[in-house]
């Protein structure tokens, strides 16, 4: 097809050759039909030979491209037999990529290697593939694709991922060609894919399957081995910005973050060793390993006491950010002193939550909402001090505690925006502002600075005419930007930001906790025969279907004080999630139960009816 088009365009060149000649030339040609004007005639012949040669070499190039393509597809076909798809198995690229028991994932990994290669050819950039199942049990695994600037892959390509993953063995090439055609990808383009993995026992062979997929399509790989998810996002961004974002090595990451952290904590020089001490629960995962590596770079400005470091316990088992957030209790294996500042990473270190126990033994959780509040308040103050007129917004989901939203809007006068659950939605919304702080209540989040905002801050740093207070504030802003991993939520980077903010403002974890008091809340799940019967709107805060469900929720909420409740189908589990908050824990529990019953009755509940919590 391409060849025909090229030949056709050559013919057009030949035919239009004469009309563009001057009338004088035309005349002389007409008067010498035997081409007795030798120059002109020779010129035409030369031109024709040139065009024929071009056509010939184009045809040759296309021929060899075609051969190359065939050879490539042969290789894919051969290699894919080593990573066969179990017949009938279908999986979907969900909010967090593919995630299931590791034993079902070998073919998925190989195919995601193929897809990442295509994505790289399409975008002419390096693409990342991370092998991890985050906070899931150790037996599970998963995979996520990372786009050129370190963000999540687009929705259309998520669709291709599902399409490719579910193609039966004999139609894999057909699906591959379909994507190539739809996206108009030249298969002979070079490709580059960065691969990383977490510490799960299955991750080594699964990441090898990704590498096989890439190489079978002729792509180049860089295997980073064991890295946190946010470290791989960082590498991809560093590579595609040609080093502007940092150096694409693990050491480059440690250097960039630690330098910024040390610069920030210089502004809190009278901290005691006690204040520098932080207990970190590594979830027995990759975060623990990387924290150990980073320690030396922090030059004792942060004194980490690491537990669940992977030396004995099981990944995410009774520990890690998800366990602490869901169970609302301290992880096992951590020796917590009264009032001591502690935090937990999840299995791939892209989430973090803080907590402490008070003198009465009461457990206090500081989740993503509290983190967003601390960071946005700090940034807003710096903007005021620096005299910068930049708009700052906090992006939350429906799960954000009502108290946090009220505090941010009413007291801090910050714009608050609510999106659907899932990092990509929050990330996307945060890009709309000069400074977008986004956090899910579960502890995944970061801060995005627009290019214009970064430029303004950098220019002001250089501006020698600014007075001391302004200069100090703007320098802090600059270091804070360097400390934040803007590509994705990053437990290590977020932890360092939080530690720096607490140090600079001279706050204890208790002071931070006291900024506002969380409304008691409860999350439950209900099993229904098909969770897709629940459709939501208004950033998942209202149920559109099944009919009558939202009315039922509205009238239940009215029975309680300061109450709020919503339901949504989970994107990662075959259940419907129910959230409720109210003025007391009893009310929140009771409301959550009543809403669960409404879901069970109106949305096709299966199994036993939900039982009251008390």
The binding site for substrate comprises 440-442, 568-572, 577
Q: Which residues are annotated as a binding site?
A: 134, 346, 348, 350, 440-442, 568-572, 577
- Report, in Å, the least distance between residue 135 CB and ligand 16G: 8
C-alpha closest to that of 110 among 195, 187, 185: 195
State yes or no: residue 198 binds Zn ion (CB under 5 A): no
Residues 423-452 that bind ligand 16G (CB under 6 A): 423, 440, 442, 444
In the Cβ-directed half-sphere of 138, how many Cα atoms lie within 13 Å? 16
Per CB under 5 A, contacts with Zn ion among 279-308 are none
Task: Provide, rounded to whole angstroms, the least separation between the CB of residue 286 and Zn ion.
Answer: 10
Q: β-pairing, 342-345 with 303-307?
A: unpaired
- Residue 28 annotated in active site: no
Partner interacting with residue 421 (select from ligand 16G, Zn ion, none; CB below 5-8 Å by kind): ligand 16G
Closer to ligand 16G by Cβ: residue 121 or 568:
568
Stretch that binds ligand 16G, among 25-33, 162-170, 570-578, 598-606 (CB under 6 A): 570-578
Contacting residue, 228, 344, 421, 550, with ligand 16G by CB under 6 A: 421
User: Per CB under 5 A, which of residues 319..348 are in contact with Zn ion?
Assistant: 346, 348
Give the nearest distance from C-beta 481 to ligand 16G in angstroms: 23
Residue among 100, 117, 120, 134 that touches Zn ion (CB under 5 A): 134
Tell me if 138 contacts Zn ion by CB under 5 A.
no
Residue 192 near residue 184, CB atoms below 8 Å: no
Q: How many CB atoms lie within 10 A of CB 79?
A: 18
- Considering the complex, what minimum distance in angstroms separates the CB of residue 568 from ligand 16G? 7
Residue 559 CB-half CA count within 13 A: 14
Looking at the DSSP bridge assignments, the partners of residue 6 are none
- The site partner of 221 among ligand 16G, Zn ion, none (C-beta below 5 to 8 Å per kind) is none
Q: Is position 572 an interface residue for ligand 16G (rule: CB under 6 A)?
A: yes
Whose tokens are 């079902």? That residue is: 104
What is the C-alpha separation between 353 and 345, in angstroms, rounded? 7
At 310, list the tokens. 């992977």
Least distance to Zn ion, CB of residue 270, Å: 36
Q: Restricting to residues 221-280, which ones interact with Zn ion according to CB under 5 A?
A: none
- Contact criterion met (CB below 8 Å) for 474 and 461: yes
β 140-146/98-101 pair status: antiparallel
198 part of the interface to ligand 16G, by CB under 6 A? no
The count of residues interacting with ligand 16G (CB under 6 A) is: 13
Residue from 402, 457, 396 nearest 427 by CA = 396
Binding mask 72-101 for ligand 16G (x = CB under 6 A): -----------------------xx-----
The 8 Å CB, 24+ separation contacts for 168-174 are 168/85, 168/87, 169/80, 169/81, 169/84, 169/85, 169/87, 172/76, 172/77, 172/80, 172/85, 172/111, 173/73, 173/76, 173/77
Cα separation, 264 vs 256, whole angstroms:
13
H or E element in which residue 93 lies = none
SS3 content of the chain, % helix, strand, coil (to 5): 50, 15, 35
Window contacting ligand 16G (CB under 6 A); options: 272-280, 327-335, 571-579, 605-613: 571-579
Which residues are known binding-site members for Mg(2+)?
134, 346, 348, 350
In 74-166, the DSSP E strands lie at 98-101, 126-131, 140-146
Q: Which residues contact 603 (CB under 8 A, 6 or more apart)?
A: 526, 528, 531, 533, 534, 546, 549, 576
Rounded to 5 degrees, φ, ψ at 606 are -120, 160
Residue 348 binding result from Zn ion, ligand 16G, none, given CB thresholds of 5 to 8 Å by partner type: Zn ion
Catalytic residue among 134, 258, 479, 590: 134
CB of 305 to ligand 16G, least distance (A): 28
Q: Which does 186 bind (CB under 5 to 8 A by kind): ligand 16G, Zn ion, none?
A: none
What is the closest distance, in whole angstroms, from the C-beta atom of residue 573 to ligand 16G in the complex?
A: 5
Residues in touch with Zn ion (CB under 5 A):
134, 346, 348, 350
Residues in touch with ligand 16G (CB under 6 A):
95-96, 421-423, 440, 442, 444, 570-573, 577
User: Which residues are identified as catalytic?
Assistant: 134
């Amino acid at each position: 097809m391409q060849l025909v088009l090229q030949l056709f365009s050559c013919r057009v060149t030949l035919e239009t050759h004469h009309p563009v000649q001057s009338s004088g030339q035309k005349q002389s040609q007409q008067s010498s039909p035997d081409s007795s004007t030798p120059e002109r005639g020779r010129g035409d012949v030369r031109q024709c030979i040139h065009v024929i040669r071009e056509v010939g070499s184009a045809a040759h190039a296309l021929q060899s491209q075609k051969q190359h393509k065939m050879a490539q597809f042969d290789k894919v076909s051969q290699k894919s037999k080593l990573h066969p798809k179990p017949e009938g198995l279908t999986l979907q690229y969900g909010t967090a990529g593919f995630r299931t028991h590791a034993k079902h994932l070998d073919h998925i990994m190989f195919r995601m290697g193929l897809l990442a290669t295509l994505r790289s050819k399409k975008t002419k950039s390096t693409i990342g593939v991370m092998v991890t199942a985050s906070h899931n049990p150790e037996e599970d695994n998963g995979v996520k694709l990372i786009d050129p600037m370190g963000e999540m892959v687009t929705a259309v390509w998520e669709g291709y991922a599902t399409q490719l993953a579910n193609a039966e063995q004999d139609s894999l090439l057909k699906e591959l060609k379909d994507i190539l055609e739809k996206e108009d990808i030249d298969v002979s383009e070079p490709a580059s894919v960065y691969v990383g993995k977490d510490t799960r026992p299955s991750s080594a062979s699964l990441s090898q399957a990704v590498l096989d997929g890439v190489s079978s399509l002729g792509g180049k790989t860089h295997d980073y081995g064991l890295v946190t998810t946010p470290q791989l996002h960082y590498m991809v961004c560093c590579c595609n910005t040609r080093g502007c974002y940092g150096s694409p090595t693990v050491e480059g990451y440690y250097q960039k973050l630690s330098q910024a952290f040390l610069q920030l904590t210089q502004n809190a020089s009278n901290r005691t060793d006690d204040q520098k001490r932080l207990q970190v629960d590594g979830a027995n995962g990759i975060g623990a390993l990387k924290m150990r590596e980073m320690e030396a770079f922090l030059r004792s400005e942060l004194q980490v006491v690491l537990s669940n470091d992977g030396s004995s316990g099981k990944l995410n088992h009774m520990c890690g950010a998800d366990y602490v957030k869901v169970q609302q209790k301290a992880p096992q294996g951590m020796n917590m002193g009264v009032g001591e500042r502690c935090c937990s990473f999840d299995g791939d270190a892209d989430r973090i939550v803080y907590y402490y126990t008070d003198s009465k033994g009461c457990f206090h959780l500081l989740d993503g909402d509290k983190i967003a509040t601390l960071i946005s308040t700090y940034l807003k103050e710096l903007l005021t001090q620096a005299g910068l007129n930049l708009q700052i917004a906090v992006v939350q989901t429906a799960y954000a505690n009502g108290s946090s939203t009220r505090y941010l809007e009413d007291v801090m006068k910050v714009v608050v925006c609510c999106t659907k659950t899932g990092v990509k939605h929050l990330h996307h919304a945060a890009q709309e502002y000069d400074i977008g702080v986004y956090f899910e209540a579960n502890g995944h989040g970061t801060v995005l600075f627009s290019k214009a905002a970064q430029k303004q801050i950098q220019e002001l740093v250089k501006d020698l005419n600014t007075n001391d207070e302004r200069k100090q504030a703007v320098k802090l802003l600059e270091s804070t930007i360097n400390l934040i991993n803007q590509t994705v939520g990053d437990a290590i980077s977020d932890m360092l930001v939080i530690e720096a903010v607490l140090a600079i403002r001279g706050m204890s974890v208790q002071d931070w906790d006291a900024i506002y008091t969380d409304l008691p809340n409860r999350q439950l799940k209900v099993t229904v025969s098909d969770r897709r019967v629940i459709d939501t709107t208004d950033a998942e805060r209202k149920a559109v279907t099944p009919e009558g469900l939202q009315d039922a929720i509205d009238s239940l909420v009215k029975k309680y004080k300061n109450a709020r409740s919503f339901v949504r189908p989970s994107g990662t589990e075959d259940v419907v999630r129910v959230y409720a908050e109210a003025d007391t824990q009893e009310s929140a529990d009771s409301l959550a139960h009543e809403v669960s019953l409404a879901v069970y009755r109106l949305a096709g509940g299966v199994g036993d009816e939900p039982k009251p919590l008390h």
